[in-house]
Amino acid sequence: MEITVYRATPLFQESRTLPAATYNLARVLQARSPKGVAFVPIRPMQVLAIVDATEFVFLDSQYKSWVMLAWQGFHPNARTALDAPVPFDCVHYEDTAQDAMRRLVHEFHRALERLAAKQRIDGPAKVLSLTARR
């Protein structure tokens, strides 16, 4: 799937943190994607999330291909544990973005879980034989 998106001039930018479970699951789904991009429909909000290596972009169905909100500048190395929140910058491109942020973190995580439940890893498991050097 290929989608072209457009960005208006940013209206507002803020620093936030994303729960580790959400960040980690998004990265797992992105890594499983053959092209390194995961498309995550957030049906209760009528929003499509596009997860790539550098940012998470959110498109509102009302604006079609215009970015409503972007989460970028993730700093996973700033955390001291894998279950610690990940700092990032939230860039608002539409007036509706601030209202959407109130629900988005929770609904995005639920959408990631639904997508992960649909994906099955088929095929035989491979056991790697590692020998210790002495």
Tokens linked to 99: 């209202």
**pLDDT of 48 higher than 80:** yes
Query: What is the enclosing helix (H) or strand (E) of 67?
Result: strand 67-72
Tokens linked to 55: 């940012």
pLDDT band per the 50, 70, 90 thresholds, residue 63: confident
**pLDDT of 125 higher than 70:** no
CA 25 to chain centre: 8
pLDDT, residue 51, reads: 96
Tokens linked to 24: 């980690």
Average of per-residue pLDDT across 88-112:
94
Average of per-residue pLDDT across 51-59:
95
Q: Which residue has the higher pLDDT, 23 or 132?
A: 23
CA dihedral 100, 112, 82, 68 (to 10 degrees): -30
- Tokens 């095929």 — which residue? 123
